[in-house]
Structure 1
Amino acid sequence: MRAAEHAAEFAAAQWTRATGAGLDPHEYGRVTECLDAVADWGPAFRRTAGDYVERATAASSPVSAGEHLLTAARWFHVATLAPFAEADRAAAEADDALARALAVLEPSAQRVSGPGFTGWLRGPADAPGTVIVVPGLDSAKEEFLDLASALLARGLAVFAMDGPGQGVLRATTTMRADYHEVVGRVIDALGDPARIAVVGLSLGGYYAAKTAALEPRVAAAATVSGPFRLHWPELPQPVRDILTRRAGGAQAARAFADHVDLTHLAPRIEVPLLCVDGGADTIPGVTNVEPLARLAPRGTYLSVPHGDHLLGNARADWLPRLADWITQALTGASE
């Protein structure tokens, strides 16, 4: 396959994820149609993000500047989905753009950091519940801004985090199987709120489910496209490559993958648990999460038949429902 054809195939595979993260589909098409190789992906997306930073600098109002910076954060993050030399720098630029955007648009947002995590606490100080949003293998807090907005609109507080091997921490940390302990430190740092929910996306769904099983302060949890089990020999090579980079080596990556199995933890999840799958999300070596919903005592399963991984092509079919479900689970109030 010629390099340009490979780039087009990669762009097609990432389309719903990128647009689900908030990128304009028309601009996505304009940027990706000019790629001569996958190696051009990161630099092209980083340049586009830089254009939005320039727009923010030239904006005639603080609101416009903040909105441009939010868009820049999304483009900087999506730049990191293909390996390139400046990927760690792009992740740091995404973090900086988000920080600058919130400083303008939401000055009450608080940066909260600790051992193995960093992120933003947003929402009212007297919110009836706080939702910790956990990203996945190669995602970051900048990817799920629309999920955060949906939860904030329902009166909840949101802590969108990067954990070990994720986002701005990818350059200095590696992924770890005891991620639930990091979430415990997050809860400590947030002042141990009375009502906590954890929402995890992709591999973050595994982290969220494990946290719900082992962290007694969690009152509800949800997973989106999370794995129930990983089987290393069947995983596609691109997934193995990402695991290897984020785990710090092939041996550590295989050990991590072997650890991902919720069979014995699922029955220990006593809190309400919503498991969202896309019916078109079929990754070799990944067992989708239906067994988790079946084995968890209070599990609920939502399968969207046409949904792909992270269901960026089916947001209306799950995002409002998840946000309502989390609100009900934390407050007992119907939306």
Structure 2
Amino acid sequence: MSPAEFAAAQWSRATGAGVDPHEYRRVTDGLASVADWGPSFLRTGHGYLQRAQAAGSARSAGEYLLMAARWFHLSTLAPHAEAHRAAAEADHALSRALTMLEPGARRVSGEGFSGWLRGPSNALGTVIVVPGLDSAKEEFLDLVSALLTRGLAVFAMDGPGQGVLAATTTFVPDYERVVGRVIDALGSAERTGVVGLVGLSLGGYFAARAAALEPRVAAVATVSGPFRLDWEELPPPVRHIMAQRAGGADAAREFARHVDLAALAPRITAPLLVVDGGQDVIPGVTNGESLARLAPHGTYLSVPHGDHLLGNARADWLPRLSDHIAHALTGTPA
């Protein structure tokens, strides 16, 4: 794949994550090969660190650091030697930003998870945001902001094999155990209320599975989440990433075998919103319509022009998803 083709494939994901589209084009137009992706995005992130250091206020510095975190994370979308360091830099930039911008934000970590708890201490509900195959908590800052503006507390996390934990851990099929430990930890932080889950891409499977098996989940939404995976049909790049995150090809094949919600969907008693993009067609991936149909309180939202993660159609789903979670957790009108 040429660098231009790779950049086009990542366009809506990157801009959906909140980077400036004009800067994205400037950075990617200068790539001689896909191998240049990681180093170029790292340099861009370091440029934002320099802006943060020179900023005239803590607010400006924090905003620059949030942008640095986005670029560092996006650098990991193409394989490169510094990918694990980039994930650590994304995590560090986000931590510095939230320390400056939100004194009440708290780092919460435990076995198989690490993330930031944000929002009011007296929130009626807490939303756990679950990333996917190669995403991380730094990718979904705009989603977190939408939930925060509705008065919710939000815990954006990295789980096993994800984000800052990708260097030291691997995927687990029983993600409900991770979610259970997160809920326990948030309860210790005295900021839980009732709990909702939002899962994105493979995180949609993790969230749906946890909602079926963890009785404390009171609301759930998935975005571009798989209902089922067929390892043999998955594109080689997807299998490669999954092998990296699962600990090898055999482990990835076994992990993919578990990704099937047919038996679990009827056990999801919480209100469920399933969001899919009509243009999101990946061989070997069965999208979420069956999940919404089989869940007792499932609602399906298909955006015809939406792609994977629907970064090209945020206005068509992000407000509705945020309202769905807020209404289910707090009773406020949707």
Q: Secondary structure at the match of 1:293?
A: helix
Q: How far did 1:74 drift? A: 0.2
Q: Secondary structure at the match of 2:182?
A: helix
AA at the equivalent of 1:255: E
AA at the equivalent of 1:33: D
Deviates more, 1:188-197 or 1:45-54: 188-197
Corresponding position of 1:246: 245
AA at the equivalent of 2:44: T
Is contact 2:218-2:271 (8 Å) kept? yes
Give 2:184's match in structure 1, choosing from 181, 184, 188: 188
Corresponding position of 2:329: 330
Q: Which runs of 5+ in 2 are unaligned?
A: none
Over the matched positions of the two proteins, sequence identity in percent amounts to: 75
- Asked if residue 237 in structure 1 is aligned to residue 233 in structure 2, the reply is no
AA at the equivalent of 1:293: A
Q: 2:163 & 2:231 partners in 1: Cα distance?
A: 24
Q: How far did 1:333 drift? A: 1.1
Corresponding position of 1:291: 290
Is contact 2:123-2:193 (8 Å) kept? no
AA at the equivalent of 2:306: G
Matching of residues 85-96 of structure 1 within 5 Å = 85-96=81-92
- Asked if residue 26 in structure 1 is aligned to residue 25 in structure 2, the reply is no
Post-superposition Cα deviations, 1:43-72, rounded to whole Å, max 9, x if no partner, equal 000000000000000001111100000000
AA at the equivalent of 1:329: A
Q: 1:59 & 1:333 partners in 2: Cα distance?
A: 39
Q: Secondary structure at the match of 2:128?
A: strand
Corresponding position of 1:210: 209
- Asked if residue 223 in structure 1 is aligned to residue 219 in structure 2, the reply is no
Q: How far did 1:241 drift? A: 0.3
Post-superposition Cα deviations, 1:178-205, rounded to whole Å, max 9, x if no partner, equal 1110010000000173310000000000
TM-score (norm: length of structure 1): 0.98
Give 1:131's match in structure 2, choosing from 122, 127, 132: 127
AA at the equivalent of 1:304: V
Runs of 4+ in 1 over 3 A off after TM superposition: none
Q: Which runs of 5+ in 1 are unaligned?
A: none
How well do the aligned residues superpose, as a CA RMSD in angstroms? 0.7
Q: How far did 1:265 drift? A: 0.3
TM-score (norm: length of structure 2): 0.98
AA at the equivalent of 1:210: R
AA at the equivalent of 1:190: L
Q: 1:140 & 1:194 partners in 2: Cα distance?
A: 24
| Count of matched residue pairs | 331
Post-superposition Cα deviations, 1:15-53, rounded to whole Å, max 9, x if no partner, equal 000000001000000000010111100000000000000
Q: 1:326 & 1:247 partners in 2: Cα distance?
A: 30
Q: 1:54 & 1:178 partners in 2: Cα distance?
A: 41
AA at the equivalent of 2:233: E
Corresponding position of 2:93: 97
Is contact 2:136-2:158 (8 Å) kept? yes
Q: Secondary structure at the match of 1:161?
A: strand
AA at the equivalent of 2:172: R
Q: 2:103 & 2:42 partners in 1: Cα distance?
A: 26
Q: 1:179 & 1:49 partners in 2: Cα distance?
A: 31
Corresponding position of 1:176: 172
AA at the equivalent of 2:217: V
AA at the equivalent of 1:162: D
Corresponding position of 1:272: 271
Q: 2:122 & 2:331 partners in 1: Cα distance?
A: 16
AA at the equivalent of 1:137: L
AA at the equivalent of 1:143: E
